[in-house]
Structure 1
Amino acid sequence: MEEETKLAPKLELIRASQIDPKTVEWLWYPFIPYGKVTLVQGDPGDGKSTFMLTLAALLTRGAPLPFTEPKTPPEPLHVIYQTTEDDADDTIVPRFMKANGDRDRLIFINEKDMPISFDDVRIEEAIRTTGARLLILDPLSSYIGDCQINAANEVRPRFNHLIRIAKETNAAIVVVNHLNKMFGIKAIYRTPGSIDIVGAVRSALLIGRNKENEDERVMVQQKSNLAPTGNAIVFSVGEDGISFIRESELTADELLASFSEKSGRPDTKTQEAMEFIRDMLSDGEEHEASECEARLREAGISMSTAKKAKRMLGVVSSKPHYSWYWRLPEDED
């Protein structure tokens, strides 16, 4: 009994009044916060690694990130990039150079003698030694370490190591992950293993192919704990690297649903919604999205049906100023 008392942790209480509130800092608002862990997911071959390397290249040369308007020019940053999927000499560095990154600011932790894992002390040491503001671990399965990925009680302690490092160094940590093969379910359940993987991070991004244009990819925010969900970003991957094209209203569930929908004639409700939208936009002009949605609701058309009809019609969404607008594609005008 006396021995148990000695081993028991000492109770320490902290009042909220003793805590100094602070605002969240952002590497890329609202997608990647500083001092937190972010998850980037997608199917193999959909451009996750190339996307992250392109962001790294922009950061190392002090260029603005896509669709941002910084008040002052960004300072060039150091980035640590760890991957087990591609070699640095024939894939990672050539891709990084193609994106015009500063090679002196892209850093690798040597894993030749011992692989890195989430609880490796070298991660924090490397961040502090280099002053890196971004650490990328690609993929999760190679770096999470020895644990049952389906067990929340094993996954969360592993992530807690990264969460602590991110908080104490105020660096952004991004973990890249593959999706599972369970099509036709909500996006949050496409994460392999425990749902706690998504639960542990503060932001989760999803990258997939644009069903309407196979040459395009879409990055959508699957989860956002610290800010309103950001607009989706459409980009292309080509021989010359990544080109960022436009913002979009697409959601994570819509992006994944576009690949699991059964082919064939739309159901009656969707057909009626398609006819209503086609008639509403028949003048070929841009119409404010909020007004269109209000008219659809007045007509008794649900937003889920409207989104499906809108997608099947190929309605073009744009945001020239502060509001979203809809119009029919040119071949529908």
Structure 2
Amino acid sequence: MLVPQDETQHIDLLVLPETNLILVASVIEPLRAANRIAGKVLYDWQIFSPDGNAIETKSGIPIPVSGPFRPQNETSPLFVLSSYNWRAYATTQLKMLLSRTARHRELMAGIEAGSWFLAETSLLDNFSATNHWEDFEDFTAAYPQVTMVRERFVIDGKRITTGGSLPTLDLMLELIRRQHSYSLALEVSRLFIYEQERTRGDLLQVPTIGNMRISDNRVGAAVKLMEETVEAPLTLTRLARRLGVSARHLQTLFQETMGVAPHVHYLALRLNAARRKVIESRADFADIAAATGFNSSSAFSRSYRAHYRESPSETRRRLKLKS
């Protein structure tokens, strides 16, 4: 899950009783959204419980499962999800199963209190990890062999840990970005953020940064300007001038805050807006190119293919065949 991949990524989820419903959704919903936006199955998953019974979440809404957690030699990533009263479910048998399956898994993730299960099974020894802020000190004292980091989520080699539901959503966006593209992660993030209506209706069609949080006000202002100028993109110099900083300084701020250069984010905004028009409208590609800031249909098609690994016409043809 940490490197680009074209094939469908399968994930196993072990969900413990008394897990928050929102924690499960924080893992699954971004994957579902990625499949919907891509128009194909990028991810699929199975949910297991320790005994094969439906999971009783803290909200009282049960989650059906595929069966009991009885791993063999599966290599797919395993996410262990837990919220409350984890000790009651950390049985000798479950810890033995986790230890055994870790020999084969390409990746194991402790989601919120799921990190306690990995630590109890010595699967976080000599790894960096995080935990929910309420439990951070207790976890640090209990497992001195684990290097604790005060981050929302931590990816360290074959181990992942998160500090709660929203950090888990951030994690899933990061995994989608690494495996597919920044633009797909950006578009998925857009589905999980509410924004008040703006003054221009057409801006509602442009993806925003969503859960990719912007900590610098100047970068936030740059992102808003990008959203407002999709049809006629500004140069980096003009963008920086509007914000009262140098182009080089804006580039540095953007890289530090967003993890990408300004032009990467700008292009992702434009291509995501274009892709929605390709999928949701019958507009000519020349009109879509003009509406999203491309000089010509050929330039748009080249950029679209490089990003989505298919041409605009292939996208329409593929989705038409599925309907």
Of structures 1 and 2, the larger Rg is shown by 1
TM class, shorter-chain normalised?
0.3 to 0.5
TM-score, normalised on structure 2? Answer: 0.37
Bigger relative contact order (CA 8 A; separation at least 6):
1
Higher fraction of helix: 2
TM-score, normalised on structure 1? Answer: 0.36
Higher fraction of strand: 1
